[in-house]
Chain A
Amino acid sequence: MTMLGDRQQLAYIASQAADARVNVELETEGMTLNIGPQHPATHGTLRIIARLDGEQVLWAEPSAGYMHRGYEKLTEVRTYPQVTALVNRIDWLGSFANEVPFILGAEKLMGVEAPARAQHIRTILFELSRIANVSLFLGDLGVQLGAVTPVFFAFRDREYVLNLIEGATGGRFHPNFDRIGGLKDDLPAGFIEETHSVMKKLRNFCDEIENLLFGNEIFQSRTRGIGVIPKDVALQYGLSGANLRASGVDWDLRRDQDLPMAWNKADWKVITHPDGDSFARCWVRLQEVRESTKIVDQLLDTLPAGPVMAKVPKIIKVPEGEAFVSTENPLGEMGYYVVSQGDQGPFRVKIRSASFNNISIVPWLLKGVYVPDIITILASLYFILGDIDR
């Protein structure tokens, strides 16, 4: 594995090497530490097996699979509209965002495109799920470091967003709202005004978290220069989303991909950070929530009139073909490779979930870090268990 000549990374490695030398001289005996599967500081049931030398990790291995539900197999006995109910449960904090790439893939194979209004509403709900998802991350981040206050703020303000999603779709966590050819329904009355006021609250929440957490000296010393991922390593492991952008890769599928969605109709920025450490990953996510609120505000103002559903047959049969569609989900690149053989259900669906790739870097990343940093590094990588195991 090649390392970048980044000064910070080199200093970090040098300090680790110095510590390792001390340990060799003392000939300390190794010890295996099991973190999880049930542990307050893991999100769900991920188990980390770490071999320690003193306070330092010699090697660490995440053991996933406690929540494997076999969705790829289940899709093979479902029809296309039924699959959205399954994929909702992959990343359960940003459910609506999971439906979109699958529906877009099926639409691509069928040659159907959703009407402009449906594309706008899809994008709005997509960004609302991102805000709900990432705002919980920002609150949870504090808990991992022993700061309990931010999580209350996060739950309070996420509730506003969940209420909006519930108002529009009927489901707080699992909307199951996206249909091939458009959406199940139009937005409810009063949604636009309500959303504008909630977006204002969420921007306040971002300011609060920034003041409470990101400016905090303890937070900075626990995250700055910790868990550095160089750019080329991040790409090789297929890291995506904020984890990749925090390593200085200016790549966002919302901007760089030509999808029938409305992101290009709004004015927003792709946030990157050159450092690649835990702090950068958290900071990029915080800024992305701000950008998302801007996207939602602009799209609500430019919402086109018209139907929310294209004309599609009642019984959906997808023509033979293969398609890969991925979108920039709250956790990173979420994609579906759909193989159709002309039936009512897919022949094979490969679910490319973001957390699976994001967490596969953990054995590399945890080598040489100290035990307390395991938790902050995992927290900053941000994974959802359902998104790893599927």
Chain B
Amino acid sequence: MLLITTKLSEGVFPLSSATDTTEAPRDERRESELARVIEALGANVVDSLLKPNDDMWIRVTAESWRATGETLKSLGYSYFCFLSAIDWMPSPFGKGEDDPTAPAVERDNTIKQGYTGGATRFQILARVTQPFSSLGINIKVDVDDNAPVIDSWSSVYAGANWHERETHEMFGIGFNGHPDLRNMYLPTDFEGYPLRKDFPLLARIVKPWPGIVDVEPLPGDDSEEGEAS
């Protein structure tokens, strides 16, 4: 049981929140569970992270994506929670609050993956749960930026079918072996993938966000602003 399972990738900065104190509480239930998962998945696990009394994360290799689903299901993770993707590229439009008359804003567009790191812009994120212990695990996998295709989970967890359709539509990620990747929400001839960060939120482009007009501070707000920053 002395297997050290908690490790952070280099890309992740330690949290500065109050929960992340040096004497973090032990969570033996999750520790042994994560050790069991990592043992079953073997070399397929690239990285893992455990936050005591919170959650578990693993990142697996793209080749073993389907096998990971099958293994997790056999380990009792029979409840399929969700599957989606994350686009780690910072949005070139920021929060959509730029003044259109001002010169373009320089933005830091280095890609910074979250927990368990990663090497690509797109990552698939899925979560499965053991219904009787309520322990869930978040599984991430890198998706090749040039050919964003990954194996489908729809034959492992039947519920993944719709989630993969949604992910395909919103992120343009293909799923090998998916029976039917039709659009769910958008018209068939829609171009672009709305949840990618480089897809502009048109409502914010055609009309400036009214928030940028309200630059006048409210009376008596000065002291509180100082306190917050």
Query: Is chain B a partner of chain A in the same complex?
Result: yes
Q: Which A residues have a C-beta under 8 Å from some C-beta of B? A: 1, 64-65, 68, 70, 72-74, 76-77, 108-112, 232-233, 235-238, 244, 249-251, 253, 256-258, 313-315, 319-324, 326, 333, 335, 337, 339, 341, 345, 348, 350, 352, 356-357, 360-361, 364, 389
**Contacts beyond the supplied A64-B184, A314-B225, A323-B54: 14 A-B pairs with Cβ under 8 Å:** A65-B185, A68-B184, A73-B194, A73-B201, A74-B201, A109-B15, A111-B18, A235-B80, A322-B114, A322-B115, A333-B81, A348-B86, A350-B84, A364-B158
User: Cβ of A238 and Cβ of B15 under 8 Å apart?
Assistant: no
Pairs across A and B, CB under 8 Å, 29 listed? A64-B185, A65-B185, A68-B184, A68-B186, A72-B170, A72-B195, A76-B95, A77-B96, A110-B17, A112-B18, A235-B78, A235-B79, A235-B131, A236-B78, A236-B157, A236-B158, A237-B158, A244-B131, A250-B132, A313-B228, A315-B225, A321-B17, A323-B54, A350-B125, A352-B127, A356-B163, A360-B161, A360-B163, A364-B158
List, in ascending order, chain A residues with CB within 8 A of B125's CB.
Answer: 337, 350
Provide the bound-state CA to CA distance between A65 and B18, in Å. Answer: 41
Residue of A with least CB distance to B134: A256
Residue of B with least CB distance to A320: B13
Provide the bound-state CA to CA distance between A339 and B19, in Å. Answer: 17
Provide the bound-state CA to CA distance between A321 and B57, in Å. Answer: 12
Provide the bound-state CA to CA distance between A387 and B95, in Å. Answer: 25
List, in ascending order, chain A residues with CB within 8 A of B194's CB.
Answer: 70, 73
| Cβ of B92 under 8 Å from chain A | no
In the A-B complex, list the 4 residue pairs whose CB atoms are closest, starting with the nearest: A111-B18, A111-B17, A65-B185, A68-B185
User: Cβ of A324 and Cβ of B127 under 8 Å apart?
Assistant: yes
Provide the bound-state CA to CA distance between A324 and B131, in Å. Answer: 16
Provide the bound-state CA to CA distance between A333 and B127, in Å. Answer: 13
Q: How many chain B residues have a CB neighbour from A under 8 Å?
A: 59
B122 to chain A, nearest CB (A): 12
User: Cβ of A345 and Cβ of B95 under 8 Å apart?
Assistant: yes
B77 to chain A, nearest CB (A): 10
Per-residue CB contact flags for chain B residues 17-44 toward chain A (1 = under 8 Å, else 0) read 1111000000000000000000000000
Known A77-B201, A313-B227, A364-B158; judge A323-B195 contact (CB<8 A): no
| Cβ of B118 under 8 Å from chain A | no
List, in ascending order, chain B residues with CB within 8 A of A258's CB.
Answer: 53
B114's contact among A250, A319, A339, by CB below 8 Å, is which?
A339
